[in-house]
Amino acid sequence: MVYHNKRRKIRTLSICFAAIALTGSLLAGCSGTASPSQGIKPTAAPETKHPEPKTPATMETTEVDEQPSDVYYEIFVRSFYDSDGDGIGDLQGVIEKLDYLNDGDPNTTDDLGVTGIWLMPINPSPSYHGYDVTDYRSIHPDYGTLDDFKRLLAEADKRGIKIIMDLVVNHTSTEHDWFKQAASDKASATRDWYIWAEDQGKTPSGVSAAGSGSPWHELNGAHYMGTFWGGMPDLNFDNPKVREEMKDIGKFWLELGVDGFRIDAAKHIYEDLMSDKGEETTAKNTAWWQEFRASMNEVNPDAYIVGEIWDNSAAVIAPYLNNAFDSGFNFSLGESIIGAAMNEKDNNLAFTLERTYGLYSQVSGGKFTDAAFLTNHDMNRVMSQLKDDGNHAKMAAGILLTMPGNPFIYYGEEIGMKGAKPDEQIREPMIWSNTGNEKGQTTWEPLKHNRGDQVLGVEQQTDDEDSLLSRYRTLIRWRNEMPALNRGTIKSYSSGNQQVMAYIRHTNDSSTLVVHNLSGTEQTVDLAAKNGSAEFHTLSKTTDNHAALNGSSLKLPPYTTVILE
């Protein structure tokens, strides 16, 4: 088998200077959490005074902890593209739209240019969302067959697109044969695969760690644990047979050719109750994921594994990066990006990232990769959070796609799709055209937020140079072309202007300055005033040709992103 998820990582030598400080004062200020049922809404970032960052001229010469990058596109197959006319998206539909995502030709500009796909659950399930699995080694019949999936993997590989899939191991469906046997017969071989209060001498009380009320659900005179919902009974990972089965399932998909996994509910394997939160529970969780990672390495040591660790504290996420996950989704960064775009103010997110990465590098031995995103399938869509402001959406995209690591785009985000809770309405059908009769348009869910008078489809935006879709294509193309944007780390940089965000992206061999005018008015930045000298002399990329660099004076039109070298 050929593995195309090759990791090029240079081990950190001195980037870890802030790790100890992070676990203390800095991280104490970002310990808020949220459950998948709550969603996260951005708040205005407080004005914070930070020490002046080092300038390029005074930075210490160190080896850079580079983060190899792919741009991932999150697909809910049911909503994406319908190949057979039944109103439900399917794997063949994803195949037919691969050229929209990346046609494999770097010289074309009418594809999005992503190099990775994250497929939300594709296993059989009684629910529309698929997070309650009934068969871990099959494909949902609405989506196709294993042969369809193999064709998708092959076609994606031709275009240089990696595919990772949702792996939901925290719980199964109540309709899984394992649970049916366990519930009907206390002597069943799978009874201990689940957590039964009466069997384990536990009191069926307490509050779910996921914030969904009581985690206990009664059935046949007994109570089983279901942290998220009664239809999703938690598996008992204290049972070694459960752990072995889940490792075998992971190997099955890697051997089929999958490039890795997005791990659902990663911190809830043992964290069942609000009272479970703590170092001991985290240690049990990370020990399991280290066991899982070691097992996956036997098949593909380059498999990319990103965990859903829904927490804003870097100190909580860090342990999972120690020989377990390559990445943990950066929920805090998503909030910061949306907050900066919404408020049109620099919140110095690079300052925090620079120090957070020091901690992550230390814990992972220089092997971690960040996973940046704006929103996902559990959160109100970014365009709705930004109150349908297209300029703010462009700036959020500009920041996201100039961040280190692997940025993730939620399907439809690139055309400004909207959506707010309940979950079905943030997973509405992808809008391919406003004509209403576009071939492949899915219809499983009625449109509430994305009717033709509310959002422009792909067809309407594709030839419009000023569209949000065109902005996404441009930014991803920049990222694919420029090594510093693609795999560089980040350094804070003072613009001296609250409405202008700036930071340096650099590798061992190249360096760029990213500058965003977050505001609706023209801004001028003196690159030498706050940083000692103007180290960047060439205006290399711009989203507006009216941007200009004269000496150290940089003129930025409204809502513009530029790259200087």
pLDDT digit string (tens) for 330-384? 999 999 999 999 999 999 999 999 999 999 999 999 999 999 999 999 999 999 9
The residue out of 435, 454, 481 marking a domain boundary is 481
Question: What are φ and ψ of residue 90, in 5° steps?
Answer: -150, 170
Phi, psi of 179 (to 5 degrees): -75, -40
Same domain, 497 and 551: yes
Exposed, middle or buried, 466 (CB in 10 Å: 0-12/13-18/19+)?
A: exposed
The answer as to whether 23 is a domain residue is no
Over residues 67-77, the mean pLDDT reads 96
More confident residue, 13 or 505: 505
Does residue 224 have a pLDDT over 70? yes
Q: Are 543 and 400 in the same domain?
A: no
Total domains in the chain come to: 3
For residues 462 and 511, membership in a common domain is answered with no
Which percentage of the chain shows pLDDT scores above 70? 88
For the stretch 489-526, pLDDT in tens is 999 999 999 999 999 999 999 999 999 999 999 999 99
Kindly state whether residue 31 falls inside one of the protein's structural domains. Answer: no
Is residue 418 in some structural domain?
Answer: yes
Per-residue pLDDT band at 15 (split at 50, 70, 90) = very low
User: Where residue 498 sits, what CATH number does that domain have?
Assistant: 2.60.40.1180
- Decide if 308 is catalytic: yes
CATH number at 381 reads 3.20.20.80
pLDDT category at 190 given cuts 50, 70, 90 is very high
Q: Respond yes or no on whether the N-terminal peptide bond of residue 141 is cis (omega within 30° of 0).
A: no
Quick one: 270 exposed, middle or buried, by C-beta within 10 A (0-12, 13-18, 19+)? buried
Task: Express each pLDDT in 417-435 by its tens digit.
Answer: 999 999 999 999 999 999 8
Bigger pLDDT: 482 or 535? 482
Domain membership flag for residue 28 = no
37, 336 Cβ separation under 8 angstroms: no
Residues 421 and 535 in one domain: no
Point out the catalytic residue in the list 132, 276, 308, 344: 308
Residue where a domain terminates, one of 193, 225, 257: 225
Q: Which of the residues 82, 264, 413, 535 is marked catalytic? A: 264
472 and 406 within one domain: yes
Tell me: do 395 and 345 sit in the same domain. yes
Say yes or no: 284 and 429 in one domain: yes
How many angstroms separate the CA atoms of 145 and 122, rounded?
10
Residue at 452 is within a domain: yes
CATH number, domain containing residue 205: 3.90.400.10
Residue finishing a domain among 435, 462, 481: 481
360 falls within a domain: yes
56-70, 205-219, 379-393, 399-413: which range is least confident on average?
Answer: 56-70
User: Is position 147 within any domain?
Assistant: yes
Question: Are residue 375 and residue 399 in the same domain, yes or no?
Answer: yes
- Alpha-carbon dihedral sign for residues 290, 294, 299, 303: positive
| Domain shared by 377 and 498, yes or no | no
**Residue 304 sits in the same domain as residue 391:** yes
Q: Which of 39-48, 238-247, 326-335 has the lowest mean pLDDT?
A: 39-48
Give the closest residue to 397 by CA, choosing from 537, 514, 527, 553. Answer: 514
**Domain extent at residue 537:** 490-564
Q: Do residues 71 and 114 touch, judged by C-beta distance below 8 A?
A: yes
207 lies in the same domain as 337: no
Give residue 532's pLDDT.
65
Mean pLDDT within 57-71: 70
Weakest-pLDDT range from 46-60, 106-120, 470-484? 46-60
Same domain, 286 and 407: yes
Residue 339 lies in a domain: yes
